[in-house]
Structure 1
Amino acid sequence: MGTLLKALIGPLLAMPLSGTAAAETAWQPVEQVKTYAVSGSTGIELYRSIGEHGPKVGVGRAIAFTDFKLTWTRRYEPRDGGCVITTNRPKLIITTMLPKPSGKLPAALGARWETFIAGVRTHERVHGEFIVDLVRQIEDYSIGLTVADDPDCQKIRKVLTRRLGELSQEQRGRSRDFDRTELSEGGNVHQLILDFVGGG
C-alpha cells in the first residue's frame, strides 16, 4: 500500500503565479471545478484508475489538483520624481480538478466514494485558501507602493517583482508542508485512501 500510495499520489501543489486600498478589496475569486473520468467496480480499481488518469504533477499523478490564473489591473503613476502604484485590482480564477466515476457505483461503494471525495475536496479547499491569502498579501504590499527617483516607473516594477517572487515561494512552501502532513502515514488524505481502498 505504501508503494502504491507513493506511486499514485504526487504532491498536490498550488502552482506558480504571475500582482487595493481597503476601498478596492471588494473582489472575490472565481472558483470552478473540472473533473476527469475514472472507472472501476471496487475501491482499489477506482484508485488505480485515478493513478492512470489523474492530473500530472511533477513526475507523477495526483488524485486532485488546484491551480489558478491571476491577472492584475495595475496603474503606475509618476509622482514628485518617483513612482506610486495607485490601482491594483486582481482577477483570480481558481480551478480544482477532481476525479469522477464514469458510471453509477454500487450503493456501498458509492457511499465510500462520497466520503472519500468529500475529504479530497476539503484538502483542495485549503490550497485554494492559500492562494487567496497570497493575493491578499500582494494587495497589501503593492497598493500605495512608492519608489523615489523613478519618474519612468521602471525601478518600482523590479521592487514589486522581487517581492512577488518571495511571496510566491512562501505560498508554495506552505502548500508543500500541508501536503507532506496530509499524505504522511496517519495524515488525513493518507487515511482517506486507506479507508476507501480497504473497504473492499
Structure 2
Amino acid sequence: MKLMAALALACIAGWPTQADAKPKITEKTEYYQISGKTGVDLLWDMNRKGPRQGFLTKAIAQTRFETDFQGDMDFQNGVCRVSGGGVVMKITYIYPQPREKLSGDMVRRWKLFQADNVRHEKVHGRIAREMASVLDEKIRSFATKGDRRCSNAMAKLKRETKAIYDAYEKKQNDFDRQEHREGGAVDRSVAVLVGKR
C-alpha cells in the first residue's frame, strides 16, 4: 500500500533511497516586490502585498514547507512495515524586497530589518528540518503486527505521524508567540525600520 495516498500527502519525484537513511530536504528563497522611500511606506506595502498568513492577515516574511512520504506498506510473517520509506521536504523562504533603490539611512535600517527577517525564518526552517528527520525515522523504522491488508498498520502510522506534525506545529507557534510578543524581536525590528530605534 502506497504511503502517499494512505497518508493523504502529495507525491513528488526524486525520492531518497533507503541507503540515504535521512530525509531529502531542499531550500529555495523567493521575494515579493514592495515600494516606498520611508520605513513606514515600506511597512505599509508589506502589509498589503506580503504572503497570506491565515484567512485575513498578511505576513512580512514567511517559511513554507511541503512534506511528502515515500514507500509501500508491506506484509511479511505477520508484520506490516514500510519498504523503501522516507521523507522529502521542500522549504521556501519568502522575503520582501524594495523595488526602488533606497537612499541615506534607509539602506542601513533596511539591512538590519531584513537580517532579522532572515534570522526569524531560518528558525522556522530549522524546526521544519527537525520535524522531517523525526518523520523520516518514524517511517523507516515503523513495524507492527497486522493482517495482509495492513489497514490497521496504516491507521496507526497515520496517527503517529500526525502526532509528530502536531508537536512541531506547536513548536512553530510557540516560537512565533515569543517573537511577536509586545516588545519582542519583531517589534524591535519594525522599530528599526521605521526609525524609532
What TM-score results when the alignment is normalised by the length of structure 2?
Answer: 0.85
Cα RMSD (Å) of the superposition?
A: 2.2
Structure 1 segments of 4+ aligned residues over 3 angstroms from their partners: 17-23
Report the equivalent of 1:40.
36
Q: How many residues align?
A: 184
- SS of the aligned residue for 1:68 comes to strand
- Give the one of 82, 86, 96 matched to 1:85: 82
Q: Which sections of structure 2, spanning at least 5 residues, go unmatched?
A: 1-7, 11-15
Identity of aligned residues (%): 26
- SS of the aligned residue for 2:141 comes to coil
**1:63 has 2:57 as partner:** no
Aligned equivalents of 1:133 and 1:195: distance in 2? 31
- SS of the aligned residue for 1:73 comes to strand
- Counterpart contact for 1:68–1:94, Cα < 8 Å: yes
Aligned equivalents of 1:126 and 1:167: distance in 2? 18
Report the equivalent of 2:172.
175
- Counterpart contact for 1:131–1:171, Cα < 8 Å: yes
Counterpart amino acid of 1:29?
I
Aligned equivalents of 2:77 and 2:121: distance in 1? 46
Report the equivalent of 1:31.
27
What TM-score results when the alignment is normalised by the length of structure 1?
Answer: 0.84
Aligned equivalents of 2:19 and 2:104: distance in 1? 51
- 1:80-159 matches, within 5 Å, as 80-159=77-156
Counterpart amino acid of 2:67?
L
Counterpart amino acid of 1:107?
G
Q: Structure 1 residue 199: deviation in Å?
A: 4.9
Aligned equivalents of 1:135 and 1:116: distance in 2? 29
